[in-house]
Amino acid sequence: MSNNKYLLKLFITGYTPQADRAIKNINSICKNELAGGYHLEIINILENPQLAEGERIIATPTLIKVLPKPSRRVIGDLSNTKKVLLGLDLVAVNDSEGEELGHE
């Protein structure tokens, strides 16, 4: 196992169209950007509410990058690839037009 492996957790509330979009979007991003260097765990908080409480999830879908540190969160259906990549620390703000994403 590589030290550069990403551990990602996607929290959803049931299998809704929005959750389905988030799952498809993060799978596509991981396949294209992480090239097998990741583990994605999908957590349905209706089935595992204690996991959501432990992570203080207040909205879904929420993607948490657990590893590598620092932990980061991206909330929403993950359709904005640049925002997701920025949230996962895969691109620098300068490379991602950060001002459009509300980063200062």
Whether residue 71 is contained in a domain is answered as: yes
The pLDDT of residue 103 is above 50 = no
Whether residue 1 is contained in a domain is answered as: no
At residue 35, the pLDDT reads 82
**d(Cα 11, Cα 41) in Å, to the nearest integer?**
9
Whether residue 36 is contained in a domain is answered as: yes
pLDDT tens-digit readout, 1-30:
344 689 999 999 999 999 999 999 999 999
Q: What average pLDDT score do residues 31-40 get?
A: 89
How many domains does the chain divide into? 1
Whether residue 28 is contained in a domain is answered as: yes
Whether residue 93 is contained in a domain is answered as: yes
Write the CB contacts of 34 (distance below 8 Å, at least 6 apart in sequence): 6
Whether residue 45 is contained in a domain is answered as: yes
Whether residue 48 is contained in a domain is answered as: yes
CATH classification of the domain holding 39? 3.40.30.10
Q: What percent of the chain has pLDDT over 90?
A: 71
Mean pLDDT score of the chain: 85
Domain that holds residue 59: 6-101
